[in-house]
Structures are given as structure tokens and as C-alpha cells.
Structure 1
Amino acid sequence: MITPWWYHPILGAIVALMIFGVAHPGVLGFGLVAIGIIGIPVLVRAYTLRTGLWISQAAGPATRQLQRVLMVVYIVLMGAALALRLMEPSAWWALVPALSGLLLTWAIGPRYDRELRRELAASAADS
């Protein structure tokens, strides 16, 4: 069970688009968030077609912890993007939380995959 090389960079880009979209009012912001909302199921479908499987939940404590950390950080980054929207500085400042989301997703994704494989293997060995 190996995640294709393209999965985490694309997921990171989708996360970055959504965070960047939160920082921008109007059609641009709405459009970027909408692309993200549509992009995630499309990515999941592409992954499922490519690999033949999909695991939608954590397999043990390490993957649950990584999921929680990612969700908290994503919420913080979305909050930072919203704060930037309300403060109305230069639009380029929105790149900071957006790129943080991209890099975090790209960096943590492979670690999550390793932990998931380890936990699944341990679960199979216990059965």
C-alpha cells in the first residue's frame, strides 16, 4: 500500500487554494474554496481508481494523533487567513498561511502513510 507520488503535492495544493480563498472576499475567494471542495473528492476518486482502495479513517493511535494535529493546524491556518481578510493587508500576505498548509500537507502526508502501514500491519499480525 504505497500512496502515488502525486497524491500529497496535489492535496497540499488543494489545501493551499482553500486557505488562500478564505483570505479573499468575493468571487475569487468563493471560487478557490469551491475548487478545493470539488478537488478533494476528485483526488480521492483518482487515488481509488489508481490503487484500488481507500482508507478513510485512522488505523491506530499514531495516525489518529497525526490527523488531529493536521486538523488543528489547518483550522489555525484558516483562522489566520480569515484574520488577514478582515485586516485587509496586501493580498500577498495570504500566501503565508496558504504555503504553510501546502508544505505541511506535503511533509506530514508521507509520515502519515508510513504510520498507517505500520498500524495496519500490526493489526493484521494481531488477528
Structure 2
Amino acid sequence: MEDDMPTGRPHDAPQRPSAAQARETLASLRADDANLAERLVTPRWYHPSLGVIVALVITSQALPSPASLILLPVALFALPALVVVYRRRYGLWFSLPAGPRSRRVYRILLAIVVACFAAMVVVKVTPVAYGWVLLPAAVGLVAPMVLGPRYDDLFRRELTGAATATDGQGA
């Protein structure tokens, strides 16, 4: 380990890259980001599948006990299975937004899904007719199908640096 320690001699100090080397490295990183963004095209089946899973979890709470006890674990198992299939098939998975706009859409989608689950609980624990669970289930089905592609587009644009604060497009 002593050999790894600098001795204080000038030749042991790390050399700073020149301005040209730094620009070249940054350009290489931007090119890597652009290549990665090209690979980040979510397949058509992903967002509808996610919406169906969310809707099944919500709807399962309105079903009679045996059906609910079967459907809920199947739907909950489908969530990680969806991620595993996506990862294995495409070799990529990103769980966090790339910038402020994709973060905004991500938070909106998350808030909608949480509100749907809260509505499901209200229907489950109150004397409200179980048929009302179809409303949050429908919202839970449609939200990922609508906001998911928007999130993906913003994520790719922010990853490549193409999204700017003045391009006029919001969430």
C-alpha cells in the first residue's frame, strides 16, 4: 500500500488534461449519452402492460374473496416480472428521471397511481358499492398508457441534453 501513496515529488502528482483533451472527453460522453438515448426506446407493450397490472391490482379489491386472493398476488407478481422481462430483453433499466421535466411527469404518474390505490382502499373499507372501484381502475389503466410515452420522450431528450428550459414544451 505504501507504493500507492504520493511521495511529494512533482512527477507523482496527477496530470491535468489539456483543454483539448477535456473537450474531447466531454464530446465522447455526449456521444455516449446520445447512443444510450437511442437504445432507450420503450417497446409498445410496456406501458399498456403496466396499466393493465395497475388496473388488476385495483380491481382485485372489488372481487369476492377467493378471486381477490388469487388475482392480487398474480398482479403483484407481474410488476417485478415486467421489469425483469424488460431488463433481460433490452439490457437496460432506468428507475430515476434524467432531468426536471421527466421528473415532473414521473411524479405526476406516481401521484395518480397512489391516488388510485387510495380510492381503492376507500371503496374497500367503506360501504360504497364495489362497482366504484372501476373508476380508479380505469384511471390506473390509462395513466401509464398516456404519461408513460411522454415520460420516455422527455427522459431521452434530457439524457441527450436536447431538452432546454426555453423549448416551449412542458410536462
Please confirm whether the aligned pair reaches a TM-score higher than 0.5, indicating the same fold.
yes
Q: Which runs of 5+ in 2 are unaligned?
A: 1-39, 163-171
Secondary structure, in 3 states, of the residue corresponding to 2:161? helix
Task: Check conservation: 2:116, 2:140, Cα contact below 8 A.
Answer: yes
Greater Rg, structure 1 or structure 2?
Answer: 2
- Measure the CA separation in 2 of the matches of 1:87 and 1:38: 27
Task: Work out which of the residue numbers 77, 84, 91 in structure 1 matches 2:116.
Answer: 77
Comparing 8-17 with 30-39, greater Cα deviation is found at 30-39
Q: Which runs of 5+ in 1 are unaligned?
A: none
Deviation at 1:25, TM superposition (A): 6.6
What is the alpha-carbon root mean square deviation over aligned residues? 1.9
Task: Work out which of the residue numbers 54, 58, 61 in structure 1 matches 2:93.
Answer: 54
TM-score by length of 1: 0.85
Q: Which amino acid aligns with 2:109?
A: L
Q: Which amino acid aligns with 1:8?
A: H
Higher relative contact order (CA 8 A, sep 6+): 1
What whole-Å deviation, never above 9, does each CA across 1:5-38 have from its counterpart, x for those lacking one?
1000000000111122344574433433322321
Task: Check conservation: 1:11, 1:105, Cα contact below 8 A.
Answer: yes
Query: How do 1:23-102 residues align onto structure 2 when only pairs under 5 Å count?
Result: 23-24=62-63, 26-102=65-141
Task: Check conservation: 1:22, 1:78, Cα contact below 8 A.
Answer: no
Deviation at 1:59, TM superposition (A): 0.9
Task: Check conservation: 1:23, 1:82, Cα contact below 8 A.
Answer: no
- Measure the CA separation in 2 of the matches of 1:57 and 1:32: 29
Please identify runs of 4+ aligned residues in structure 1 that moved more than 4 A.
none
Task: Check conservation: 1:25, 1:85, Cα contact below 8 A.
Answer: no
Secondary structure, in 3 states, of the residue corresponding to 2:75? helix
